[in-house]
Amino acid sequence: MPQFTVQELAALTGGQFSLAENGAKAITGAAAIADAGEGHVTFFGNAKYLAQLKASRATAALVPLDFSEPISPVAIRVENPSLAFAQLLEKFAPEPIRFAPGVHPTAVIGRDVVLGENVSVQPYVVIEDGVKIGAGTVLGAHGYLGHGATVGAGCQLAPRVTIGARCVLGSRVIIHSGTVLGSDGFGFELSGGRQVKIPQTGIVQIDDDVEIGANVTIDRARVGRTWIQEGTKIDNLVQIAHNVVIGRHCLIVAQAGISGSTRLGNYVTLAGQVGLVGHIEIGDRTIVAAQSGVTKNLGPDQVVFGYPALPLRESKEQLARIGRLPKLYARVKKLEQLRGSRPESLPPDS
């Protein structure tokens, strides 16, 4: 088990601490505030956990630069406690699992498949004809790559990932278990009293450094491409429909759903359970708060909430007014009793 001193951790994170004698204290692990004990380093990045931090038995804590509360752990002041903690986790974590290069004997490899150097193909993977896979990529057990698909270098595909025919992945893409890229877009037209399937002939394109969570579905385009651009991160259980374009470095949180042909700019955040109708555009750096429904175009640099999604302050004001309706109703009823009559336009009480 690796061991560091407080001084060494401060040097690793670019942090500062008070009292030189604290620098020699030993750190043998990292833990969350609630679980940290003697020998652990933890981090503090949210004010609601201050009471837990003050009661913590951790030896050291990564805190913001302006932190001034008295605490028992040695306070290591850093610019970003969460990010610094992530850096330290790598020092204390077990060695990452590595897969040896080569093709497992149970894998099924089609014709004209191109495997780059040090590719690892795990048990029961199926690679159809014409697939190209870049150097150092790992294909997890029971994965499937459709005809003519392309996967770049240094990708990590977890077990049971499906990549449809002709879909294209860039380099260093991470895809977690159960995700399906390139299933048919949901396209039908009513004709003669029956739903007629519209062929979905396009592809899914995933650019470099994208990470996609477990059980995500990204549909192939009707024509052209469904496109996830560089650096975007997608959480578990997200549905992305055909011909959607998501810009660079976006965050799409769990259970979000994006309808067909909608376009997101760069650095957009969709929080949990957000729903977007089709054929709209969301501007750069806009944030859509959890459980919101977006029904029209949004410009850049907005924060919206609610259904239909409105600017955050306006939506909060509306919710506050709705919360006051019972008291308002009681006041009106009392005024009616004092007046001795009821406007004809109001229905009688139930």
Q: Annotated catalytic sites, by residue?
A: 242
Return the closest-CA partner of residue 281 out of 267, 295, 298.
Answer: 298
| 51-to-48, 68, 70, 186 alpha-carbon distances in Å | 7, 14, 11, 50
